[in-house]
Amino acid sequence: MTRTARDLVLEHFTWLGGHADVWPVFRDAEALEAVVKALSEPFRDAGITAVCGVESRGFLLGAAVAVELGAGFVPVRKGEGLFPGLKSERTTAPDYRRLRHRLRMQRNSVRPGDRLMLVDDWIETGQQAVAARDMVEECGGRWAGCSVIVDQLGPEGHVPVGPVRALLSYDELLAVRPDGP
């Protein structure tokens, strides 16, 4: 019997001190491959030309999904790390920890007419996705939506970020792995 990406995430996922830990998924080759393919699948025929990923897990997953889709990768940096050239910048509304994040994207990484999606491990408030969408559109790109491992937004939260495809909802995760917060 073939295990699905969802099964493999559940097998490797843990809660540590009340915090979600998806890093073990990256350590297992079978799980990582299955997750990358599953994150790619809903957008396979969407004409994606580039995939965005927010630092840090979004860098890893986004780049892998970009390769899977035959698309480019557009990094979205947090904070002050080195990032040469002209940038589009946004400061997010407060996240689940009440923190605001300054996000930056190189302007020349998005071309007019590009169709971009965002890939990340978790979407909780959607604030980083909204900021990424706004930067993509400011640079002339078109937003396709988000593909994530865990969706905590719920359907009502999807409106500002566009379509969200997830391997698991937060409620499903808690139902199967109730050792959480």
Question: What does the domain layout of the chain look like in residue ranges?
Answer: 45-168
Whole-number Å distance between alpha carbons of 132 and 145: 10
Decide: 55 and 120 in contact? Cβ < 8 Å: no
Cα of first residue to Cα of last residue in the chain, in angstroms, is 32
**Class of residue 11 by CB neighbours under 10 A (exposed 0-12, middle 13-18, buried 19+):** middle
Question: If we measure between CA atoms, which residue out of 10, 8, 4 comes closest to residue 169?
Answer: 10
Decide: 164 and 151 in contact? Cβ < 8 Å: yes
**45-168 under CATH 3.40.50.2020, yes or no:** yes
**What is the full per-residue pLDDT of the chain (181 aa) written as tens digits?**
689 999 999 999 988 887 889 999 999 999 999 999 999 999 999 999 999 999 999 999 999 999 999 999 999 999 887 889 999 999 998 887 888 999 999 999 999 999 999 999 999 999 999 999 999 999 999 999 999 999 999 777 888 899 999 999 999 888 877 776 6
Whole-number Å distance between alpha carbons of 6 and 65: 16
57-102 residue pLDDT tens: 999 999 999 999 999 999 999 988 788 999 999 999 888 788 899 9
- Mean pLDDT of all residues belonging to the chain: 93
C-alpha dihedral (117, 51, 111, 49), degrees to nearest 10:
-90
HEC-encoded secondary structure of 96-108: CCCCCCEEEEEHH
Question: If we measure between CA atoms, which residue out of 166, 163, 126, 165 comes closest to residue 142?
Answer: 163
DSSP-derived secondary structure letter, 47 = T
